Amino acid sequence: MTIFVAVFIPLTVALGFWQIDRGAQKRAIEDARIASFGALPVDETRLEDAPPYARVRVEGRYDGQHQFLVDNHTRHGVPGYVVITPFDSVGGRRLLVNRGWVEAPASRSELPNVPVTDADVRIVGSLWTASATTKDTSAWDGRWPKRIEQFDAARIGEAANASRPVEFRLEEDQPGSLEPIVLGEEMSSTRHFGYAVQWFAMAVALVVAYVVLGIHKGREA
């Protein structure tokens, strides 16, 4: 029992502080997102200097022949994909546009057909830098669209020849938009803080159980 407590109390406390740190990071992201919502979108000429989560307006054309389908995204209990479509701007930039979510076909061997207009359009979205450090180690073949496991900005950007490998999350009701990914759909800071409380409570419970067991054995002796 002593060995068990000596191992698991530091572990649960460390996990609690890790969740607090993750919660603080998510809170900063949420604050930046919310602050950007009320701002007017900047145009493409200011794209390189735009801060994280800034709203940006660009004109150009989608490349519907080279799309990425990010797997394992369930909504309302239904499996599906997040669709990433390259976008060639009039300013010569190639962006990675997150158009939203689509339902997966019944058969795993099939991929959804996600058409998009090939006309010139103007779109507004946000520079979603929260995904910048995500890595995808799954195998990709040469076919299009590509089914991938994670939004790996660097890897997708290389495969799509993107000029700026950052997720450009399309706003609702924009040309080419699908079912939107809304703020708070990912794990929120509140949930991280809740998990931290659970880990700390587990550590306290272990200490109490150890003390009670020790008192009980002492009385038996």
Q: What is the pLDDT of residues 87-126, one digit of tens each?
A: 999 999 999 999 999 999 999 889 999 999 999 999 999 8
Number of domains in the chain: 1
> β-strand 121-127 against 146-148: which pairing, if any?
unpaired
Residues whose CB is less than 8 angstroms from the CB of residue 97 and which lie 6 or more positions away in sequence, other chains included: 62, 84, 85, 86, 87, 123, 125, 168, 169, 170, 176
Q: Span 82-88, mean pLDDT?
A: 96
Does 214 fall in a domain? no
Does 204 fall in a domain? no
**Domain extent for 31:** 21-186
- Average pLDDT in the chain: 85
Does 69 fall in a domain? yes
Does 194 fall in a domain? no
Tell me how many degrees the CA angle 68-57-164 measures, rounded to the nearest 5. Answer: 45
Look at 189 and 153; give whichever has higher pLDDT. Answer: 153
CA–CA distance, 76 with 92 (Å, rounded to integer): 38
CA–CA distance, 102 with 112 (Å, rounded to integer): 8
- Residue 171, φ and ψ in degrees, nearest 5: -80, 160
Q: Cα 72 to the chain's mean position, in Å?
A: 12
- Residue 82, φ and ψ in degrees, nearest 5: -95, 130
Extract the tokens encoding 193: 């803080």
- 157-161, 199-203, 216-220: which has the minimum mean pLDDT? 216-220
Does 165 fall in a domain? yes
Q: Each residue of 126-175: pLDDT tens digit?
A: 888 766 678 899 899 889 999 999 999 899 999 999 987 889 999 989 99
Does 191 fall in a domain? no
Does 177 fall in a domain? yes
HSE (CB half, 13 Å, CA atoms) of 175? 15
Q: Span 69-86, mean pLDDT?
A: 92
Does 58 fall in a domain? yes
